[in-house]
């Protein structure tokens, strides 16, 4: 099966996932799960924590205010959005955009794990502390986890079933929505990704 077919299979499972902890939010609010978008052969994979309101309404990741910041950051680094893959750990929006709960991360995490195995990125750029912790722990780097203010922009090497992987924790683009002063820090961090986008 092609990557696209395998990813579509995951999409269908999430769409039909009445057992998932946030499935009822879709029904209550008339919104969609957000699986991810971009290249199915991407070298760089961005992973956030969970969709926000705009994302759930459109079924697309990072299409609201934080998405505009992400687009600007990609542009500043000379990276085409269509060349990367963008997703979240949790595929449904938590109520009132609250932080995802541990049991929600556990329920949706296996879908993300499969997405990573299918796409086989060279780099995973985590967006925010939840995805940073999840990915660092998944790839056996839990001992290196400190605060995101200490880890952002650094590179960590991991071994996977599909070869070497570089993990780069980044601040969530939403921080620049609330504090414009952080945008320059984010731009500097995104420069690290340039060498992998060729």
Average pLDDT over residues 91-96: 95
Q: Where are the domains of the chain?
A: 3-196
pLDDT more than 70, % of the chain: 99
Asked if 61 and 86 touch (Cβ cutoff 8 Å), the reply is yes
For the chain, the first-to-last Cα distance in angstroms comes to 26
pLDDT reading at 197 higher than 80: no
Asked if 36 and 86 touch (Cβ cutoff 8 Å), the reply is yes
* CATH topology assigned to domain 3-196: Uracil-DNA Glycosylase, subunit E (3.40.470)
pLDDT reported for residue 17: 96
pLDDT tens, residue by residue, 29-50: 999 999 999 999 999 999 999 9
pLDDT reading at 179 higher than 90: no
pLDDT reading at 195 higher than 90: no
**Residue 135 tokens, joined:** 């990915």
pLDDT tens, residue by residue, 106-144: 999 999 999 999 999 999 999 999 999 999 999 999 999
**Residue 117 tokens, joined:** 């195995």
Could you tell me the pTM of the whole model? 0.96
Distances (CA, A) of 101 to 14, 97, 106, 108, 112: 18, 11, 9, 11, 16
**Residue 116 tokens, joined:** 């990573």
pLDDT reading at 22 higher than 90: yes
The band of 196, judged by pLDDT with boundaries at 50, 70 and 90, is confident
């Amino acid at each position: 099966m092609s990557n696209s077919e395998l990813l579509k299979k995951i999409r269908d499972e999430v769409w039909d996932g009445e057992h998932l902890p946030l499935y009822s939010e879709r029904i209550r609010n008339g919104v969609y799960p957000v699986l991810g978008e971009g290249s199915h052969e991407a070298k760089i994979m961005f992973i956030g924590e969970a969709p926000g309101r705009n994302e759930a309404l459109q079924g697309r990741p990072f299409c609201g205010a934080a998405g505009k910041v992400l687009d600007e950051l990609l542009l500043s680094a000379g990276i085409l959005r269509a060349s990367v893959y963008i997703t979240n750990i949790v595929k449904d929006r938590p109520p009132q955009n609250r932080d995802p709960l541990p049991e929600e991360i556990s329920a949706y995490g296996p879908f993300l794990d499969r997405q990573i195995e299918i796409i086989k990125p060279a780099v995973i750029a985590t967006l925010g502390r939840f995805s940073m912790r999840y990915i660092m722990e998944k790839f056996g780097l839990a001992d290196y986890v400190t605060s995101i203010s200490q880890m952002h922009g650094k590179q960590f090497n991991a071994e996977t079933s599909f070869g070497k992987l570089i993990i780069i924790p980044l601040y969530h683009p939403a921080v620049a929505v609330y504090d414009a002063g952080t945008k320059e820090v984010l731009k500097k961090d995104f420069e690290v990704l340039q060498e992998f986008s060729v």
